[in-house]
Structure 1
Amino acid sequence: MTTPVLLAWSGGKDAAWTLHALRQRDDLEVVALLSTVTREYARASMQGVRVDVLRAQAAAAGLPLLQADIPALCDNAAYDAAMSQALAEAAQRWPGLRTAAFGDLFLADIRTWREQRLAAAGWELLTPLFGADTAALAREMQAGGLRAHLCCVDTRQLDQGFAGRAFDAALLQALPAGADPCGENGEFHTCVWAGPMFAAPLELRRGDTVLRDDRFAYTDFSLASR
């Protein structure tokens, strides 16, 4: 018997590598992905990945994609309501599903908050990458074939010029001292287009980079076929 798992899916490298890690285990089965999407923009919250790119990623991973839609100005109550509804729908669709996985790496306070919110809904939390050395993890991802680009950069932590760059060895060397190699402190977010978790690479087209809220530089990536 395997335990079914719902994986939180941002479209980025940590979620993608979490999927890869979970698929190495014979006691678990990821049955679906769940993305939190900002309703007004039709993009993954924080990362800004387009919904059609999220769906293409899910298709490449061979998994259904569920959405928890939230408003652009979302408070904790609205987020909890959207997540609770999504979890309830997932549990109804997959009987026995009560485990949610996240790609958290080392932020203990966020992990504790997730654990508490899931427990309130009768779910358990799984974070297979938690506690990993992020420098080693970043190199492992790259050596393992994961390919991604930076789609969001916090310009208070990194220069805007990092937006749109490939997540590769050159990027790791260029990061300033104190920046986390996996961007776990919010320095950057990524959009994955290839890796061992996908049956085939995605073809993405790089678009414009825009600055929002005088802080976050978003680089748009769209499906090349569109």
Structure 2
Amino acid sequence: MTQPVLMCWSGGKDSCVALHDLQRADEWRVTGLLTTVTRDYDRISMHGVRAELLDRQAAALGLPVERVFIDAGTDNGGYEAAMTAALDRHRAAGTRHVAFGDLFLEDIRAYREAMLQPLGLEAVFPVWGRDTRAFAEAFIAAGFRAVLVCVDLSVLDASFAGRAYDAALLADLPPGVDPCGENGEFHSFVFDGPDFAAPVAIEIGETVIRDGFAFRDLIPA
């Protein structure tokens, strides 16, 4: 018998592979996606992707998506309050597991587990511990297609924002930058792959520099 699991969703490659694996496991039945959206911009928090593209992505994947709204500049307390309210509704509806796409950051894993524990929920990490170079290469080989939407300017040039996540990009990453950006070096948006009914049509827009990051706008096409 499958167990319902809610997928915490960023729209990026790590959560996309985590979802891919969950949907192929006999143990789980994915009930939907949960995404933090910054109310001021109506964009996926930290990634800066328009919420309209989030909706199109979820539709292509055939899953419902729920926004958890936070304000720009919200601290951890505000984020946790918004997430707790959303997660508590899912727990009341029968969900007991919440999945994340984290790969190796122990402190982030511990934080998520600690946030869920008082709610009676258990964290699931489908891609935890995988070698990030092999993960990146397998993502590309499987036919997923993604674009970098946000880069940390302390480790990457702004020109990386808007580039396709492909073998050429992996070859161009400076030494010390994780191939999956697991340390926050970059974030991505997946617009096509084996789980998509059709690609999400996008156009590459302008680059905006804000708070030490370069954000590349994606425009629904």
Candidates 110, 114, 117, aligned match of 1:116: 114
TM-score scaled by structure 1?
0.96
1:220 aligns with 2:217: yes
* Unaligned 5+ runs, structure 1: none
2:91/2:121 contact within 8 Å kept: no
The alpha carbon displacement at 1:89 in A equals: 2.3
Alignment of 1:50-61 (within 5 A): 50-61=50-61
1:141 aligns with 2:139: yes
Aligned mates of 1:31, 1:194 — CA distance in 2: 21
Amino acid at match of 1:7: M
The alpha carbon displacement at 1:117 in A equals: 0.3
Candidates 127, 148, 151, aligned match of 1:153: 151
Aligned mates of 2:151, 2:86 — CA distance in 1: 28
* Paired position in structure 2 for 1:107: 105
* Paired position in structure 2 for 1:28: 28
* Unaligned 5+ runs, structure 2: none
1:4/1:31 contact within 8 Å kept: yes
The alpha carbon displacement at 1:205 in A equals: 1.0
Aligned mates of 1:26, 1:130 — CA distance in 2: 18
1:17/1:197 contact within 8 Å kept: no
1:36-82 Cα offsets, whole Å, 9 max, x none, are: 01110111111111111111111011110011111111112111110
Amino acid at match of 1:6: L
1:197 aligns with 2:178: no
CA RMSD of aligned residues (A): 0.8
The alpha carbon displacement at 1:138 in A equals: 0.2
1:150/1:188 contact within 8 Å kept: yes
* Paired position in structure 1 for 2:183: 185
Alignment of 1:168-179 (within 5 A): 168-179=166-177
- Seq. identity, %: 54
1:90-135 Cα offsets, whole Å, 9 max, x none, are: 234xx32111100001101000000000112111000111110000
Aligned mates of 2:74, 2:96 — CA distance in 1: 25
Aligned mates of 1:71, 1:89 — CA distance in 2: 21
Alignment of 1:37-52 (within 5 A): 37-52=37-52
Aligned mates of 1:80, 1:181 — CA distance in 2: 29
* Paired position in structure 2 for 1:6: 6
Aligned mates of 2:86, 2:67 — CA distance in 1: 7
TM-score scaled by structure 2?
0.98
Amino acid at match of 1:209: T
2:148/2:187 contact within 8 Å kept: yes
Structure 2 residue matching 1:156: 3-state secondary structure: coil
Moved over 3 A (4+): none
Amino acid at match of 1:199: A
Amino acid at match of 2:62: G
